[in-house]
Amino acid sequence: MRIEMLVFDGVDEMDVMGPFEVWSHARRRPEFDMALVGLDGPVEVTGLHGLQFKAPEGLGTPDALFVPGGGWMNRAETGSWAEARRGVMTARIAELAPTLSLITSVCTGAMLLAEAGLLKGRPATTNRGAWAELEAFGADLKTNRVVDDGDLITAGGVTSGIDLALYVVERVCGADAADGIAGALEYTRDRDVYIAAGN
């Protein structure tokens, strides 16, 4: 499985770097691949807290998509709120969604999925500061750290992205692989996962 991590100016650095660390370990396995991508091609990103980093590729046609957040609650000039207002990213996500086997988000990345029309009637979570807004989009809010609705997995605020990433590894590569990566990172997994019926 190839998962592309969509990054943009104003993204919360921890939303990206936690899962990136986990999936960097996982891509040593033949069944897992991962890349940082910009919406329209390679891009240099300045995160919410000023960290600069590069995404060497553009969004392609992956098996799975990961959408982080940042800058939603304070309506920042860059970040998930700004991208939702611009509308280009959400339209591209909506267009790509039917081709994906898995869509994932952490924090207010879920709000970009909601703006793309992907969460109505589905169990999902986001940063607790945006719970009410997520419900207003018609999502079935769950307050668990990770929410699994089959081809949609969302996670709560910031550090919960690490648990989401490990959970994805467990689904793709098995529990031993995920636990091994958690051990290598000296990270204690939080297993507060809501799994929707039938999944």
Q: Which residues are identified as catalytic?
A: 107
In the chain, helix, strand, coil percent, each to 5? Answer: 35, 20, 40
Long-range pairs for 127-132: beta carbons < 8 A, 24 or more residues apart: 127/69, 127/72, 127/73, 127/156, 127/157, 127/158, 128/156, 128/157, 129/72, 129/73, 129/157, 130/72, 130/73
